A = this chain, B = another copy of it.
């Protein structure tokens, strides 16, 4: 079932959305996982291989253009004949949650580097490949971008995080408007809630109600749906939140 001629790449792989998206897309394509530290992707690579899929991990700092270029050079070497079917940008950092006057300019820089600059570098490397896949990919080549509540709303104490997430959304819109007409599907997903991962196990959200945290596997289903959309009916933006989440 899996296409051997195309691959998918996921930047920002850890315990949550990144892992689930990688596993989901690995049913259809060999997948490349990018994360700063190998410990973020090693277990997922193993999990995918054990399930019969193909996966490689590459240590990458998406905020750094050289690091991203090196990662894609390594991919080219690893998969000399594969074309890119889907690229998912799921890096998020810069979550300093503080009163504005306690924030440092470094907090802003970290948020901008990992969110906006990271997406910029990732898109510079993936869009030319996605364009090359337009004519023969099984689905319209896709660039999916993970957003957050802070993509739409600058809350008190979230100044620098929101700055990074708003900037990502701006890039996503610009890319959708420029590359959509060329056949590449660019979509932005607003994840509005706490994801149910080991790190959030002890968080009490939504009064502890069942399914009050977002299942990362459920997120991955929506990413896959976006990837499958027919080019006459692309979604540019959708939100995902638990049924009990206030919004």
B241 touches A218 (CB 8 A): no
Is A30 located at the chain interface by the 8 A CB criterion? no
A215 touches B232 (CB 8 A): yes
Taking the closest CB of chain B, its distance from the CB of A157, in whole angstroms, is 7
Residues 154-189 of chain A, each 1 if its beta carbon lies under 8 Å from chain B, else 0: 111111101111111111111111111101010000
Is A116 located at the chain interface by the 8 A CB criterion? yes
Binds B, one of A31-39, A52-60, A79-87, A221-229: A221-229
Could you say which residues of chain B place their CB within 8 Å of the CB of A99?
178
Could you say which residues of chain B place their CB within 8 Å of the CB of A180?
243-245
Can you name the residue of chain B whose Cβ is closest to the Cβ of A107?
B120
Is A100 located at the chain interface by the 8 A CB criterion? yes
Taking the closest CB of chain B, its distance from the CB of A154, in whole angstroms, is 3
**Number of interface residues, chain A, beta carbon within 8 A:** 81
User: What number of copies of this chain does the assembly contain?
Assistant: 4
Is A230 located at the chain interface by the 8 A CB criterion? yes
A233 touches B225 (CB 8 A): no
Given A233-B222, A233-B242, A101 and B120 touching (CB < 8 A)? no
B170 touches A159 (CB 8 A): yes
Given A214-B232, A229-B222, A230-B218, A185 and B112 touching (CB < 8 A)? no
A174 touches B196 (CB 8 A): no
In the complex, A244 Cα to B123 Cα: how many Å? 20
Can you name the residue of chain B whose Cβ is closest to the Cβ of A162?
B170
Is A127 located at the chain interface by the 8 A CB criterion? yes
Could you say which residues of chain B place their CB within 8 Å of the CB of A162?
170-171, 173-174
Taking the closest CB of chain B, its distance from the CB of A12, in whole angstroms, is 18
In the complex, A212 Cα to B140 Cα: how many Å? 14
Other-chain residue from B153, B164, B215, B236 in contact with A167 (beta carbon distance below 8 A): B164
Known: A120-B160, A181-B243. 8 other contacts (CB 8 A): A112-B117, A116-B167, A157-B178, A164-B167, A177-B247, A231-B242, A236-B247, A237-B238
27 A-B contacts, Cβ less than 8 Å apart?
A100-B123, A100-B174, A101-B124, A103-B120, A105-B121, A112-B112, A112-B117, A153-B173, A154-B169, A154-B171, A154-B177, A155-B173, A156-B174, A159-B175, A162-B174, A163-B168, A163-B174, A164-B167, A177-B247, A180-B245, A185-B243, A221-B228, A221-B229, A222-B229, A225-B225, A233-B240, A235-B238
